[in-house]
Each structure stands twice: as C-alpha cells, then as structure tokens.
Amino acid sequence: MSSYWWSALPPVPLLGLGEASVESFNHYTLRMAASCGLSQAQLHSICLGTSGAPLLKGASALSRSLTVERLTGNPHLRHGTLWAVSDVLHARPYKAGSTRRWCPLCYSDWVEDESREMLAIELDICLVCPIHRCALASHCPACTAPQGVTTPYQKRRACSICGTGLGSSAVFPRLDPFEAWIPAQAEALSQFCATPEQLRVHPANLRTYLSLLSAQAKSSPQAHHLKRLLQQGRAKKDNGRRTLHTLLNACAIQGISVIDALVRPKEAASRPLLGAWTSCEQPLMDVYRMRVWPKRGQLLLSKLTALHKEVFLPNPRGVLGLLNLGWEEMCSHDHDLCDDYDRRYRSQVEPSRLHVLNLAFARVLHLQTALRRQGRRRSRHLEMREAADLGLDTLTSQRICESATWVRTFIEKGQSVVDVVPRSVR
C-alpha cells in the first residue's frame, strides 16, 4: 500500500535541494499556496485540518513537512527544515518572533522558480546572505516597518505598509574571523540538513562529544565553568536537546564545525584546546550577542549624532536593522544615547516629511550598492538626482547623500570589533 495520500496538490519541487541555500519549508508552502490560488492559512486549513495562520518554524515545520510530503508525493520537503538534527537540537535555533529577515539583493534579482527564501536565514546565527554575502534586512528601508512571516508570496518583496520595494539598501559588512565563522556554521548546518540521503543524527552523538569534552578539563574551576557552559539550553521538557548556541559554544572551544561534533564526536573531542583558554566563564555567543553587536550599533549612533550638523540622521530602526540589531535591544544597552539620537532625528524636520527623507536615504543607499556591484565609482550627480526626484532641495539632498555614504562606509569598512571582546574568550 502506498505511503502517499491522494490530493490535488501539485508536486512542486523544493528549490536548492542539497545546497546551503536550500529553500525553507515556510517559503515552499507559500509558493505552493500561490500556485493553488490559496493563502497559506487556507492551504493548511484544507490539507492539515488547522485554522488560522500556522507557525511554520521549529517543531511545527518538522511535523507538518512530513504530512505535506504525503500529500504532494515529494519525499524531500523535510530537507527544508532542521529535520536531520531534530533529535539533537530543539526548535529554538529559529529566529524568534513573527517578523522575517531577507536578503535585499535576492529580492532585487528575483527569478521565478529559481529564487527562494533560504532555511539558513531563518536561523538567528545567520548574519549575511549565503549567496550575496550582504547583511540581511528585517525592516522596510523607507518606513522601517517589520514584515510578517506569513505575508503572501506575491506581496513579499514590497513593504506591507508603504509599498516600497524591499530589494534595496544592501550593505556588505566587514566581519571579523569569529563573526564570519558563525554564519558559516548556519550554512553548513543547512547544507547538511538539505542532503537527500542524510539520515537523522542520533542524540547519543552530541552527548558523547560533550561528555568527552567535559572529561578533559584540566582543573576544577575550568571543569565547573565548562559544565555550566555546556548545560545551557538544556530542557527536560524537550528530552534534553540542546540549543544551537550551546552547540556553537562547544564547537568554538575546539575550533571545529558543528558537523564535526554531530557526525564525528570522538574525533572532534580528541584534541582539546581548553589549555589555550584562560577562562571559559562567558559563552562566546553570549559575549557577541550582549556586547559586540550592540557595541557596533552604539558606535554607529554616536558617530552619526556627532555629525548631525553635516548629515541627515536616518531612522535609527532602519540603520540598526542593517547591523541586525533591534531598537529595543539597543535602548537597553545605552538608553541615553538612543534617547538623544531619537530626539535629534525627530527634530530635523516636520514629522510629515520624515518619511520622504528616509525614502530618499534608502534610494541613495540602493544606488550606491548597485554601482558598487557593477564595479563603478559612486556618482554624486546620480545620487543628487535620486533625492531631487522626491522634491528635495539641494542642501537637503547633499545631507542625505553624505549620510548614506557614511553609513555604507561604516558598515562595509568599519574597524573590526575583536578588540572589544574580553581576552578571556578570544
């Protein structure tokens, strides 16, 4: 008897199978719904017996992908999720919340039946696009509104609030070696899960690696700190599975990839590098999340504030989004700086004109990105024309062009932030 069920769903293929840029299951269902003339919520209500817009991340995506496989006759849909490591890692690796991230260049160069939203960018450790290496966006470049995860397929490449195209304002951040290593692990994990022949990783593999690593601590304090580090993210209600951050911390200590720890645990723990560390008190991921990334945002806002007489101050939520930072996160890090910047930003012009100025800033930034990709020098004449097309005067256009140039240069060529990481965790 066939394991597949009869349905009217077309056998739409999963894009990027076997690649690090594999399509996410969430985006697959959006394409499927569009091909059937349905919304994503309607598709799941009809096929899966659910109502409302479903959450297609974590455990929900894992279980529902198997059901949709039977309905479409496509046995590879599970590879658009973290199915291969679902017995080892729980659902928290996915970016939390109901908003999505995207690559601006993927949106601007979109090709039907080829382009896709990738599984890798749904992981919160992914900082740049696996294809274009530009920073991921999370807010509209014009009105800074966040975009929903369940936005219909045909409407995803334009802002759901103001209608501005989301394929703009791409920047190429300079990452220090550890920052570059983090998204590389997201891509490696995505490719591992996207391989058709890949079987599920046995839970004992990760337990073996962590236990062997803990057993090789050379001193009692070191063993205590290491045990606390490796126990983070463990939950009894989730069968003892670990978070992706905990796995990254354990792999960073050894200087190995997450795949080595999951597939070859004994070899991965055979040559401990614990002696090269002066302390393991603070997990690397926590240091970067709580200190390094906000530190870069703090430096960006403080320098823009110092230049407020010469340049236009763009919407802080938009520029922080280029660094994958949220406004609330930045406010909790340095409330006084954020309050000062927000006050200066709102006092530049009348509130009704701020939207136009931010739109001009996004257009100039997009133009600079396009010229850079073509290997051409920046053109002040073209930049001024982009701003003037929105009815701005010459002085305001100059301030916006200078602001866009400064922000792009800061993100792409700014100094490395390695020196702000405590020596104990380098």
Q: Of 250, 281, 312, at which residue does a domain stop?
A: 281
How high is the pLDDT of residue 418? 31
How high is the pLDDT of residue 171? 82
295 and 399, same domain (yes or no): yes
Residue 422 lies in a domain: no
Q: Of 281, 308, 334, at which residue does a domain stop?
A: 281
pLDDT mean for each 10 residues of the chain (426 residues): 58 90 90 84 69 48 76 86 87 61 91 91 88 87 83 90 83 80 90 91 88 72 65 53 82 84 86 48 52 74 88 89 80 87 91 88 86 82 88 90 88 48 30
Residue 359 lies in a domain: yes
269 and 294, same domain (yes or no): no
How high is the pLDDT of residue 415? 41
Nearest partner of 119 among 159, 144, 147, 83, judged by Cα: 83
210 and 321, same domain (yes or no): no
- 4, 103, 184, 186 from 180: Cα distances, Å: 42, 17, 6, 11
Domain that holds residue 226: 202-281
Q: Of 281, 304, 337, at which residue does a domain stop?
A: 281
How high is the pLDDT of residue 219? 59
406 and 378, same domain (yes or no): yes
299 and 233, same domain (yes or no): no
303 and 407, same domain (yes or no): yes
Return all residues near 419 (Cβ < 8 A) that are at least 6 apart: none
Residue 367 lies in a domain: yes
Structurally, how many domains does the chain consist of? 2
What does pTM read for this prediction? 0.75
The tokens describing 200, both together, are 């599920």
How high is the pLDDT of residue 240? 64
* Structural contact between residues 348 and 358, judged by C-beta atoms closer than 8 angstroms: no
Nearest partner of 284 among 333, 209, 226, 330, judged by Cα: 226
299 and 398, same domain (yes or no): yes
How high is the pLDDT of residue 416? 36
Q: What SS3 state is found at 207?
A: helix
232 and 334, same domain (yes or no): no
How high is the pLDDT of residue 60? 61
How high is the pLDDT of residue 55? 40
Residue 338 lies in a domain: yes
How high is the pLDDT of residue 131? 92
